[in-house]
Amino acid sequence: MTSQLTDTAPPTRRRSRILALDVVRGFALCGILLVNLPPLFNLDSVDAHGDPLAFYRFYEDFVQNRFFPIFSFLFGIGFGLMWLSASERSPRPRLALLRRFAFLGVLGVVHQLLQPGEALLPYAIVGIVVLLPSTWIPARFLTPVTTVLGAVLLIAAIASGGGLAVIPGLFLLGFATGCSGFVKRTLDHPGRLALVGSLALAVTLIGFAVTDYETRQIDQWINAGLGMTMALTYVVVIVLLLRTPAEAALRMIFSPLGRTALSNYVGATVIMIGVRFVVPDLSRFDSHGGYLVGLIICLGIIIVQVVGSSLWLRFFGQGPLEKLWRIVTWGRRSGPQPHEFTRMTSS
């Protein structure tokens, strides 16, 4: 095992971090926390009369399937950025990235014991089955092939109702984006980004105008499609806000979360399970099925993680699981600051 961990010399040249990716990733992490709230605390979706709870309707329309696509796309972007570094500096880059996915898979198996709906294991499997083989596509065809294939897979996944099926398509689209330099070009043209966001918002508003809650729940392809347009709208809004005075606040709150996303993703599960052990029934604390107190708990976790991540990064520069992930990937402590969940991206 030792020889395997030392046969790949890690890149020595570091690519500068992209603030927007860190901030968007941190923002998505907060949304994922809300997504995990109902299943971890077994919150009901209907009231005593069998009607959907108001908070649950909000959760389904604005949270569920809205943040997971962001995370998946960022994971693909990070893999693309990492592939550029690995292929430039390492003689056996695919072996290093295979170890990287293997570590994620092992961590995912353990995390599944705490949270059966977690994303790390599916990410690792799809990464090995889809992303790694795509690196054999000739460089001149890599971006167009992964873009077209990713778009086809994503459309098929949306038509089938979304969920985990969107991972391969978003991974490939993110990979194409990351390895083509499209991220920087997009950030350099905010007007184009605003246009894309406006179109996504328009589609979202039209989708909500012509359907009702029941229809969106029955026809899951509608919900999945709106999830994509809403996710894109969220991303555009956050990125454009980074060009305003709000940038300082967004950087302070979301960047530390994004830079330690893997550690915070797993850590949030541990914290929530600890809270559930102490307070197993949230519904007895409010008249909204426990969702209101659950949101307060999530806010508390976010505050703790923002403060904790900021302090940790000040002294160590990288999250604990991110650090271990890098060691397993490259075989020693020196090497690049990778685009982890984030730059491999994306949990």
What string of pLDDT tens digits covers the 347 residues of the chain? Answer: 333 333 334 444 444 568 899 999 999 999 999 999 999 999 988 887 778 888 889 888 999 889 999 999 999 999 998 888 886 666 788 999 999 999 999 999 999 999 988 999 999 999 999 999 999 999 899 999 999 999 999 999 999 999 999 999 999 999 999 988 888 888 888 899 999 999 999 999 999 999 999 999 899 999 999 999 999 999 999 999 999 999 999 999 999 999 999 999 999 999 999 999 999 899 888 888 899 999 999 999 999 999 999 999 999 989 999 999 999 988 764 444 444 444 433 33
Cβ(329)–Cβ(100) below 8 Å = yes
Provide the CA 339 distance to its chain's centre, in angstroms: 12
Q: What is the Cα–Cα distance from 25 to 257, expressed in whole angstroms?
A: 8
pTM recorded for the entire structure: 0.88
Ramachandran region, residue 334 (left: φ > 0; alpha: ψ -120 to 50; beta: rest):
beta
Output the six-digit token pair for 225: 């499609």
Q: What is the pLDDT of residue 11?
A: 41
Can you tell me which residue has the tokens 């985990």?
164
Backbone angles phi and psi of 52, in degrees to 5: -60, 135
At 205, which amino acid appears?
L
DSSP assigned state of 168: H
Coil, strand or helix at 211: coil
Q: How far apart are CA 330 and CA 4, in angstroms?
A: 10
**Dist CA 120 CA 110 (whole Å):** 10
Q: What is the pLDDT of residue 52?
A: 85
Residues 6+ apart with CB under 8 A from 189: none
Q: Say what the pLDDT of residue 275 is.
A: 94
- CA 137, CA 142: separation in Å to the nearest integer? 5
